[in-house]
Amino acid sequence: MKIKTLTLYLFAWMLFSASFVLPSVLRAEAPAIEPWFQQAVLLKSYQQSYDWLTPWEKREIRTQSGMALVVRLPVSENSETAGSPTKQTLHLLTTAEMVADATLIEATRKGIRQPFQAKLVLMDYAANLALLNIENLEFWDKLRPVEWTPVKSKKKPDPNNVYSLKIKSAQEWEMESGTIQLMAVGHRDVSDSWLPLLKLSGVSKSGQGFPLLQDNETIGMILDTGSGEAKAMPAEMLLEFLAHAGRYPYQSLAHRGFRWRRLPQRSTADYFQIPPEKPGIWISRVFPHGTGADVLMRGDYLTKIGKWPLSHDGKIQHPEWGLSLFDLLFLDQLKVGDSLKLSVIRDGKSIVLQTRVSAYEEDGRTVPLKRVGHPPRYIIQGGFLFQELTLNYLSMWGANWRSRAPIRLRLFLEQNEAVMINKNNNIIESTSGNKTDESTPRVVLVTQVIPDKLNIGYQKLSNAIVLEINGRQIQRLKDVSEAFLFPEAEFHRIDFLPGSDRLTVVLPVAELKQANRRIKQNFRIPKLQSL
């Protein structure tokens, strides 16, 4: 009886002890904070963007707080930093959103109250990445670069537990835990780019530029957080960015050169002579840049990228992440410059196209996507404010601009092909695949009329698309200033696309110069032209 009682007591004691011991064994130990005092710094940026409705002015200053990670750029013999491999090759890595349109960037180290002024070295707005430098060598004392490690896929044991920093104040640093939901392909709307991203849950107190840790190794950088979720750029993409940043000229990350969709309907398959049972994706539009842009055509049916067959949903069997969108190949399988074969069905025939993996490039589009760091381009003549249609301008209608901006302007963005409007008001689609920013036609419009006695009767005109000035076709903003050099007799004539408040306006040549001086003075406009 005593032996049974003793056994029961012993068993109870073991259960009681296990309740304290087992959780500490099962729960992954949080990474140490101290090493990050030498690998991460706090950032504060003062940002002032341009006002695209009154393009000679700027909007109010706003501030953002986040973090930057200490990184080392690869050093080559031709690199400008090859002379000193210690401090000069160190930079700060953060998000582009943290420093876009910044007039001042301050970096603060743990334990040092006085902030250091940072300068923007490189910004890839499409990838949401930026590189900073600080000239004061005292700042870099005892700092060391982050060592990057590829994220563990679901095939490896216990891959989902991750950590990031949680900053209560400049002096109070802690860790918070979360989990990896999946490796996904994220779409960045402002640049129309698709990049591999880690989607996280539980990470909500971190912010832009914070590190992402797995098994005490750095596997990525947080891009944004909110509502208990976060997105992070995986280490493989960050390493690719740093490798490209060490070369001149800089080349962005690998990217597809087309937009695709499932076969919309059987009639589409019949028209393009595509077997509907054949897995693949239908190319609905070819970009002026990116992988395949030089060889693909609208209507092609893409069935295979390299050795990877495509499903009807654009998915491939990734060696690490399983069934995923094909853009995930740019994470670790396809690098800029790699030779690549694309298998397509064109005009009912199966063909193989030879191309190279290409990078994302700035716009060769009719309606340029959002740009930062560049002032708006405009021309004022007789109070008529001429601008090119851009995403920046459409965004002036606020967060809901997709429903609030004028529909005729939104349609140009949604189509966003390389198009021209001729004198008979016909839209002509360009057949050229790759275009430079200088050669691409733009949509030029009179966004508003600044009041003056010269333009009485026209002052309610707004968002009118310009076709011709003085009989000369207007395809980009610089055409406006050239066309005003050739008036028709005593008047300048401006013709607009039908649907505008007016089809034609005329301005007297003799009074134009005086009106321009008057408008500049009355409205305190620094200059009447910015190209």
Task: Give residues with Cβ within 8 angstroms of 359, minimum separation 6.
Answer: 251, 252, 253, 254, 255, 289, 290, 336
Binning pLDDT at 50, 70 and 90, where does residue 99 land? very high
Q: Given this model, what pLDDT does residue 113 score?
A: 86
Phi/psi for 23 (5° steps) reads -60, -35
Burial category of 101 from C-beta neighbours within 10 Å (exposed 0-12, middle 13-18, buried 19 and up): middle
Distance CA 126, CA 131 (A): 14
Report the sign of the C-alpha dihedral through residues 400, 401, 404, 407, in that order: negative
* Any domain includes 107: yes
pLDDT(83) > 90: no
Same domain, 242 and 263: no
Yes or no: say if 286 and 332 are a contact pair by the CB < 8 Å rule: no
Instruction: Report, as an integer, the average pLDDT of 75-81.
Output: 50
Same domain, 406 and 516: yes
Same domain, 237 and 300: no
Q: Given this model, what pLDDT does residue 88 score?
A: 56
The domain containing residue 472 runs over which residues?
Answer: 378-530
Residue where a domain terminates, one of 249, 268, 285: 249
Same domain, 278 and 321: yes
Same domain, 388 and 337: no
Same domain, 331 and 225: no
The per-residue pLDDT for range 171-222, each reduced to its tens digit, is 888 899 999 988 999 999 888 899 999 999 988 888 999 999 999 999 999 9
* Any domain includes 312: yes
Same domain, 57 and 205: yes
The token pair at 454 is 């010269």
* Any domain includes 500: yes
pLDDT(17) > 60: no
Residue where a domain terminates, one of 208, 231, 249: 249
Yes or no: say if 350 and 341 are a contact pair by the CB < 8 Å rule: no
Considering the chain, what percentage of its residues have pLDDT values greater than 70?
Answer: 86
Q: Amino acid identity of 424?
A: N
Q: Given this model, what pLDDT does residue 432 score?
A: 35
Q: Given this model, what pLDDT does residue 31 score?
A: 84
Distance CA 311, CA 277 (A): 11
Q: Given this model, what pLDDT does residue 418 score?
A: 39
Helix (H, G, I), strand (E, B), or coil: what is residue 158?
Answer: coil
Distance CA 518, CA 507 (A): 15
User: The domain spanning residue 274 has which CATH number?
Assistant: 2.30.42.10
* Any domain includes 362: no
User: If phi over 0 gives left and psi between -120 and 50 gives alpha, with beta otherwise, what is residue 82?
Assistant: alpha
Quote the mean pLDDT of the chain. 86
Instruction: Report, as an integer, the average pLDDT of 477-504.
Output: 93
* Any domain includes 501: yes
* Any domain includes 68: yes
Query: Do the strands 419-421 and 427-429 form a parallel or antiparallel pair, or are they unpaired?
Result: antiparallel
User: The domain spanning residue 222 has which CATH number?
Assistant: 2.40.10.120
Q: Given this model, what pLDDT does residue 439 score?
A: 67
Q: Amino acid identity of 37?
A: F
Nearest to 92, CA basis, from 48, 126, 135:
135
* Any domain includes 181: no
Binning pLDDT at 50, 70 and 90, where does residue 26 land? very low
> What single-letter DSSP state applies at residue 290?
S
Same domain, 296 and 409: no
Same domain, 345 and 388: no
Same domain, 205 and 73: yes
Reported as half-sphere exposure (CB side, CA atoms, 13 A), residue 302 has a value of 34
Instruction: Report, as an integer, the average pLDDT of 454-462.
Output: 94
The token pair at 494 is 């401006």
The label of the residue with tokens 């940002």 reads: 47
Residue, of 146 and 247, whose pLDDT is higher: 146
Which element (helix H / strand E) includes 392? helix 391-394
Same domain, 222 and 108: yes
Same domain, 266 and 410: no
Binning pLDDT at 50, 70 and 90, where does residue 156 land? low
Yes or no: say if 39 and 7 are a contact pair by the CB < 8 Å rule: no
DSSP string, 213-262: EETTEEEEEEEEEETTEEEEEEHHHHHHHHHHHTSSS----B-B-EEEE-
The per-residue pLDDT for range 229-246, each reduced to its tens digit, is 899 999 999 999 999 998
The domain total for the chain is 3
Q: Given this model, what pLDDT does residue 81 score?
A: 42
The per-residue pLDDT for range 253-305, each reduced to its tens digit, is 999 999 999 887 778 788 888 887 889 999 998 988 899 999 999 999 999 99
* Any domain includes 11: no
pLDDT(24) > 50: no
